Structure 1
Amino acid sequence: MHSKSFLLFVASLLYVLPFSEKPIDREAFATEATEYSWNQFRGPTADGKSHSPNLPIGWNETTGIRWKTPVSGKAWSSPVVSGNTIWLSNATKDGHRLSLLAVNAKTGMIRKDITVFEIEDPMFCHPFNSYASPTPVVEDGCLYVHYGSAGTACIDTATDVITWTRQDLPCDHHRGPGSSPIVFEDKLFLTFDGFDQQYVIALDAKTGKTIWRTDRSIHYGSDDGDFKKAYCTPTIVTHNNRTQLVSPAAVATVAYDPDNGEELWTVYHGGFNAAARPLYSHGLVVICTAQGDRLLAVRPDGTGDITDENVVWKFGKSAPTRPSQSVVADQLYMVSDTGIFSCIDIETGKVRWSERHSGRYSASLIESGGRLYACDEDGTCIVFKANPQFFEIVSENKLNDGCMASPAVFGDDLLIRTKSHLYRISSVSL
């Protein structure tokens, strides 16, 4: 090969290879854990809790980066993990191409870019949102990717083959999709809280066929569909031996029987456009409502309208709209959209501390070893201790671009998707 051709060949390799500050230490991958793969929005326990207590606490663009991979398009969904593959749902900015990226977790190389749907006439999506904001879910060798009413698909993770699709679930999201799919006992649950229709549906995870659909029976108090929208991801809760699908909506939250879609209880709290995922801890469901009561804790028992009997506490100040909270020991930690960090007693709602910091936030918190991670929309990640006495910052870490997606975990490493790149961040000496 001529020297000029060889140099061009090397340059082309450097262009496609992800950034890595130093050569990869293969031994560092020998004990990577996949038992607790980060398989859905907010991880395997649906609450942002990492099973690794050793996530990195310090990094920047030149330190702690195992690899950095450019990601084209515009998508706010979080990474999910299956084995040694990181999956990202993706979309073009105009919403015409909805896709799925398979990234090699060891090298950061994009090994597959799958076109899932091509949309001739996409619905309007607000510039703050994206056409691929719902996070996929991986379960038993199948990945379920959801783009709201534009389509839902199942992909075999061993072959990368699409095994079924649905594009017949109507909803005018009005501002774009947001609710992520979840899987429980061979059912895939999807939530549609749109301008025109509001319903929850369960599909057979293997075939995609409808098992049940339940329309919302909420009294919204308005005929304006803008006040009926929500973007929340539901959570499965088992309380007093009763399993429930707890699904926040505009104005109210409803718990359904996951087997048949029957309504179990409803709590009214007001608000619309909420996006945070509910938490279950200490026998309480914590619900973020965006407006109205803002944040409340509910005992998830009883039937019918339980608003008057089962609301334990409310928190009206500095509650988030989009970032989901985390529980450590007996405390609930949160960051508001505008950068107010708070700690409250989860059983009583008593405020331990609340302090404003810089930044605007959409990403949900994650927790590791008594530390919490909050990534803002400009690329700064605040690591702070789960300390009920005061706001104790461990580190502030800056990347070149901001985060709309919530971070994920691979072994002892962080996966951070910014608006332009996917990073694997490590505390291992690189």
Structure 2
Amino acid sequence: MRYSLLKVSLCLTVMLDLSAGAPLSAQHWPQFRGPSGQGHAPRSHPPVKFGEEELLQWKTEIPGRGWSSPVIWENEIWVTTAVGDADDPNRLRLGALGLDALSGKILHRTELFVIDHPEPIHDDNSYASPTPVIDERHLFCHFGTFGTAAVDRRTGNVLWKNESLKVEHQGGPGSSPIGYRDLLIVTCDGANAQYVVALRKQDGTQAWIRHRSAPHRPDPITHRAFSTPLLWTDNGEDLLISPAADQVHAYRPESGAEVWHVRYTGFSNVPAPVTHEDLVFVCTGFFEPALAAIRRGGSGDVTQTHVPWFVSRGVSTLPSPIVVSGRIYALNEGGILTCLDCQTGKVIRKRRFVGNYSASPVSAGDKLYFCSEEGKITVLEPNDSLDILQVNRVNGIIKASPAVVGNRFYIRTENHLYCFAEN
């Protein structure tokens, strides 16, 4: 595989990420679905009612196209984007924008990769869909097969690039990277190759790689997956829960060693896993989506021993579920919200929302926020009645999952980045 590395090293040692499950300051939203990777912002209290003319702090136009979520560290917010070349319709420029989180002013515009004749993507996808990872000094951007890069977020300068992680997405990139200590963990589940790889944050070199161990079906199209993994602490030990086509794996994040796996039938899965107590919940993907509960413990193939329940109606293939107070809330792309008991899988209640849904929900304070593709943000009371408190609206398509820091609610549409907050 081709590998290119800019000869620019990070100064001193890369600051280590906090371990899985450790609390982070309410001033950070460092990766896809926030500090926990599960969409929770328990100490945040964003507004319930807001809109284009109400509690709008700022609205900044974002050039290009990208469905990656914003990431935030203190007073900086970053997004990735893909911009067409004005002089060459077959050329694409992939980069990142850094903004002041309080004013919306663009501080940095960093170009990372120039791609000639990029492979086609699905109409619902973008070339900048994976959400970056941010820490005290760095931004780590991943564009799937098109490249991975580190940026000094204080200057906007590129620190290193890695273009070795080649895979046939057949639909475009989707899986977001996650940070673990001094590693950046990247998922590559394509039609031609399926693996998880850890890059060293310091220089982008490979620390470990692990290929999927369970069998796939014969058709290569069913080998693809686009889910983002989750760090989960199991009896004091960190596990990387990594869904793939037809299987989900638990790896040791420091080494890539496999601990266990579960087999199912499903591919092109997008939702990220979520957890509750001793259970992790995984959406299996197309064509018959299901939600599987997997009990921690065990080793090797635990399909027959550690799956206490399996639900196959009303399950999402796009938005990730969210867990609050022993209930799992699963919204499918058609707007059907299902509330289930985490321990038993029993359906408590269902409610239909208007619209189509791609973005994953967030839990902020004691409210749930669901964003539709049509620009509606439904605020829900997380109870068994599924009481709707408010339906807000912005002008634009929403496919990126929102971010929450303090009392601020950030939403990315196809053309703008919004910030809403109480004055």
Structure with the larger helix share: 1
Aligned to 2:236: 241
1:320 to partner: Cα distance: 0.7
Task: Select the structure of larger CA radius of gyration.
Answer: 1
State yes or no: 1:257 paired with 2:248: no
**Which structure 2 residues correspond to residues 72-83 of structure 1 after superposition, within 5 A?**
72-83=63-74
Aligned residue pairs: how many? 394
Letter paired with 2:134 = V
1:140 to partner: Cα distance: 3.4
**Structure 1 range deviating more: 192-201 or 286-295:** 286-295
**Which structure 2 residues correspond to residues 59-208 of structure 1 after superposition, within 5 A?**
59-92=50-83, 96-208=92-204
Work out the CA distance in 2 between the residues paired with 1:36 and 1:308.
42
For normalisation by structure 2, the TM-score amounts to 0.91
| SS state at 1:226 partner | helix
- 2:60 and 2:416 in contact (8 A); partners too: yes
- 1:284 and 1:297 in contact (8 A); partners too: yes
1:198 to partner: Cα distance: 0.6
Aligned to 1:367: 363
Aligned to 1:28: none
Letter paired with 1:245 = L
Aligned to 2:261: 266
Aligned to 1:402: 397
Query: Which among 37, 55, 58 is matched to residue 46 of structure 1?
Result: 37
1:58 to partner: Cα distance: 0.7
Query: Which among 220, 223, 228 is matched to residue 223 of structure 2?
Result: 228
Work out the CA distance in 2 between the residues paired with 1:408 and 1:259.
27
Aligned to 1:306: 302
- 1:282 and 1:347 in contact (8 A); partners too: no
Aligned to 2:47: 56
1:427 to partner: Cα distance: 2.6
Work out the CA distance in 2 between the residues paired with 1:197 and 1:86.
33
Aligned to 2:406: 411
1:229 to partner: Cα distance: 0.6
1:95–1:355 Cα change, 3 Å: farther
> C-alpha offsets along residues 92-135 of structure 1, whole Å, 9 cap, x if unaligned?
25761001001111211112211111112211111210000000
1:334 to partner: Cα distance: 2.0
- 1:34 and 1:411 in contact (8 A); partners too: no
- 2:98 and 2:153 in contact (8 A); partners too: no
1:270 to partner: Cα distance: 1.2
- 1:89 and 1:132 in contact (8 A); partners too: yes
| SS state at 2:380 partner | strand
> C-alpha offsets along residues 3-24 of structure 1, whole Å, 9 cap, x if unaligned?
xxxxxxxxxxxxxxxxxxxxxx
Aligned to 1:321: 317
1:147 to partner: Cα distance: 0.2
1:159–1:48 Cα change, 3 Å: same
1:52 to partner: Cα distance: 3.1
Structure 1 ranges of 4+ moved more than 3 A: 33-36
> C-alpha offsets along residues 362-412 of structure 1, whole Å, 9 cap, x if unaligned?
000100122100000010011011012x12000000111120000001321
| SS state at 2:350 partner | strand
1:248–1:105 Cα change, 3 Å: same
1:293 to partner: Cα distance: 5.6
Work out the CA distance in 1 between the residues paired with 2:364 and 2:240.
26
For normalisation by structure 1, the TM-score amounts to 0.89
Work out the CA distance in 2 between the residues paired with 1:109 and 1:81.
14
1:300 to partner: Cα distance: 2.4
| SS state at 1:276 partner | coil
State yes or no: 1:427 paired with 2:422: yes
1:264 to partner: Cα distance: 1.0
- 1:180 and 1:233 in contact (8 A); partners too: yes
**Which structure 2 residues correspond to residues 342-361 of structure 1 after superposition, within 5 A?**
342-361=338-357
1:177–1:95 Cα change, 3 Å: farther
> C-alpha offsets along residues 307-330 of structure 1, whole Å, 9 cap, x if unaligned?
000001111111111111111111
1:260 to partner: Cα distance: 1.8
Letter paired with 2:236 = N
- 2:367 and 2:379 in contact (8 A); partners too: yes
Work out the CA distance in 2 between the residues paired with 1:95 and 1:290.
32
Q: CA RMSD for the aligned pairs?
A: 1.4
Structure 2 unaligned runs (5+)?
1-23, 85-89
| SS state at 1:92 partner | strand
- 2:77 and 2:101 in contact (8 A); partners too: yes
Letter paired with 1:407 = P
> C-alpha offsets along residues 164-217 of structure 1, whole Å, 9 cap, x if unaligned?
110011101110000000011211100000111111001111111101111112
Work out the CA distance in 1 between the residues paired with 2:290 and 2:37.
21
Work out the CA distance in 2 between the residues paired with 1:424 and 1:320.
27
Structure 1 unaligned runs (5+)?
1-32
1:118–1:293 Cα change, 3 Å: closer
- 2:289 and 2:315 in contact (8 A); partners too: no
- 2:52 and 2:393 in contact (8 A); partners too: yes
